[in-house]
Amino acid sequence: MELRQCGGVTMRIERENFHIFTGGPGSGKTSVINALAARGHVTVAEVGRQIIKEQKAIGGDGLHTGDQAKFRDLMLSRSIHTYNAVSDCANPVFFDRGIPELVGYGALVGLPTPEYFHTAAAMFRYSKRVFIMPPWPEVYGNDTERVQDFAEAVKTWQMVAETYPQLGYELVEVPKADIAARVEFILAELRIPE
């Protein structure tokens, strides 16, 4: 279904071939996305990481550690852009996070969630089954974009674990395993041949 204005009513875009990977920071999402990309699958990188790199490069404060409302709004705008950028793709598309979890970001950082986040989550729909990766202290680590500690990673996981079902999605927990095994699990769940 495409986004259309009809008598002042906005219709939803539904993409059953758009698959979200979610969870707390450092749970292995990006490693799995990179492995899928190496196998030739279409992937969409985490927009938050892109924004952090850009904001740091220009001295901006639209960061998780800076102006969190600005960071949240930038993530929504970029997420809609990336969703639309791959909307013509008929093959599976794998997203490192998705628009729905931005509905819960405000609560995570103590900000109100504007109604337009709910509108965006209702308009831009992904496959009903969302792959969630549990907190995993053995693989967790910080880098130049990920500055949260493990406790915050767990809180983020709890937020997404609550937010997605509230928005009509089913969570499929990806087992703690090496990257290849996680990829095999996901492709088997989706019945996508190797």
**pLDDT, tens digit (0-9, with 9 covering 90-100), for 123-150:** 999 999 999 999 887 776 655 555 667 8
Q: Domains along the chain?
A: 15-190 (3.40.50.300)
pLDDT of residue 187: 97
Q: What is the pairing mode between strands 42-44 and 93-96?
A: parallel
CB 99 within 8 A of CB 79: yes
Q: CB 169: neighbour CB atoms within 10 A?
A: 23
Question: pLDDT grade, residue 4 (50/70/90)?
Answer: very low
Mean pLDDT computed over every residue of the chain:
90
Q: What is the pTM of this model?
A: 0.89
What integer is the mean pLDDT of 97-106? 95
Q: Which pair of tokens denotes residue 95?
A: 């997203």
* Section 144-166 average pLDDT: 83
